[in-house]
Structure formats: structure tokens, C-alpha cells
């Protein structure tokens, strides 16, 4: 859900609000009731709700254990693939 920042030019109140993209802008200042309450142009912000990739994988600062490479779902180890040779001949000729 996006976070929008508003400012009132009458009283100077500056506040952030969670709003849907489809919601109408807030017209009246919640502090003074003035009609000069408008959205500010600021850096984009958003709020992630529920569980998901952010909450489970990145929010904790990278504490998730990395998955071991070469493991398949059956628990057997898959042999590591050798990298492709850097030369077109495969290194078996006398050109290098």
C-alpha cells in the first residue's frame, strides 16, 4: 500500500498516510481543518503487509540460511557441472 506525504500550508502540519492508489486525495487538514492540505512530491514509499519474500527473506538482514547447491528434492547430491572451456578448441590443441 503506498505511503503519501501531505502538508498543510495554513498550519504547517506534515504527515504521511497509507492510502490505496484508487483513494481520493485527502482535502482537509486533520489538525486545523484548512483546505490547503495537499500531497507533497517525495520519494516513493510503500508498506508490505502479510508474509512474503520481503518479510521472510530480506527483512531480517539476510539471516536466512543459504540453500545448499547441487541438492535435489530427493536429497541426493547432483554432480557439479564443469564450466565451458574458454577456447573454441577445448584446450586440446597446440594453439595456446
- Which CATH number is 3-51 given? 2.20.28
For residue 41, the model assigns a pLDDT of 82
Q: For residue 2, name the pLDDT band (cuts at 50, 70, 90).
A: confident
Tell me what the pLDDT averaged over the chain comes to. Answer: 73
Predicted TM-score of the model (pTM)? 0.45
The domain locations on the chain are 3-51
Question: Nearest-CA neighbor of 21 among 53, 51, 47, 56?
Answer: 47
Nearest CA among 41, 47, 15, 42 for reference residue 30: 15
Contact 32, 8 (CB under 8 A): yes
**pLDDT tens-digit map of 13-60:** 999 998 888 999 998 999 999 899 998 887 766 666 666 665 566 665
Nearest partner of 22 among 1, 50, 46, 44, judged by Cα: 1
Amino acid at each position: 500500500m503506498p505511503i503519501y506525504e501531505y502538508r498543510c500550508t495554513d498550519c504547517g502540519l506534515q504527515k504521511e498516510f497509507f492510502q490505496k492508489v484508487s483513494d481520493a486525495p485527502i482535502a482537509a487538514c486533520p489538525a486545523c481543518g484548512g483546505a490547503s492540505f495537499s500531497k507533497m512530491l517525495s520519494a516513493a514509499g510503500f508498506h508490505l503487509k502479510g508474509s512474503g519474500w520481503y518479510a521472510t527473506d530480506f527483512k531480517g538482514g539476510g539471516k536466512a540460511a543459504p540453500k545448499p547447491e547441487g541438492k535435489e528434492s530427493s536429497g541426493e547430491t547432483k554432480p557439479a557441472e564443469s564450466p565451458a572451456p574458454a577456447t573454441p578448441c577445448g584446450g586440446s590443441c597446440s594453439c595456446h
